[in-house]
Amino acid sequence: MRGRFSRYDVVIVTGDDPRDSSVTATIDLASIDTGNEKRDQHVRSATFLDVENHPTVRYHSTGIRPTGDGWLVDGDLTMHGVTRQVPLNVMVSSFGPHVSGGQWARFSATARVNRGEFGIDRWSGGGAVVSDKVPIRFEIEAVLNE
């Protein structure tokens, strides 16, 4: 199953040296959209995300370092009332001038989390089993505001 979140707030602070940059993101978990409203309601329920008690997930970077072909963003992910360190593998897709005058960048970021470590227990039912390992992918477009 794939899904996306449509409501979020992301702040990227850039430094002259990319290692001096930071990112903070908050995602509204109620905005999950998998293309199936019945499934979305189930994912929002206490069985999975428990949106009523834990309405957001938050990521705050703690460091950025170059890798051979991209960047690794170290950071803390808080989900379901639990905070764990989760590194993001970041690749810059494109960079250049934006039509409004500033600089524009597109990034892809990936990670894998174990949802059990965040207190979201394994669930099975109706013959289906949901994996503990959840891949996460972000597609980010940013325009520099000065």
Range(s) of the domain holding residue 127: 4-143
Phi, psi of 68 (to 5 degrees): -55, -40
Number of domains present in the structure of the chain = 1
Q: What is the pLDDT of residues 10-19, one digit of tens each?
A: 999 988 898 9
With 50 as the cut, is the pLDDT of residue 40 above it? yes
Q: What is the pLDDT of residues 89-107, one digit of tens each?
A: 999 888 888 787 778 888 8
CATH of the domain at 113: 2.40.128.110
- Cα–Cα distances in Å, from 140 out to 25, 28, 37, 58, 117? 11, 16, 25, 16, 26
Phi, psi of 118 (to 5 degrees): -105, 10
Q: How confident is the model at residue 35 (pLDDT cuts 50, 70, 90)?
A: very high
pTM of the model: 0.86
- pLDDT of amino acid 98: 79
With 50 as the cut, is the pLDDT of residue 127 above it? no
Distance, in Å, from the CA atom of 87 to the CA atom of 11, rounded to the nearest integer, reads 17
- pLDDT of amino acid 146: 64
With 0-12 / 13-18 / 19 or more C-beta atoms within 10 angstroms meaning exposed / middle / buried, residue 97 is: exposed
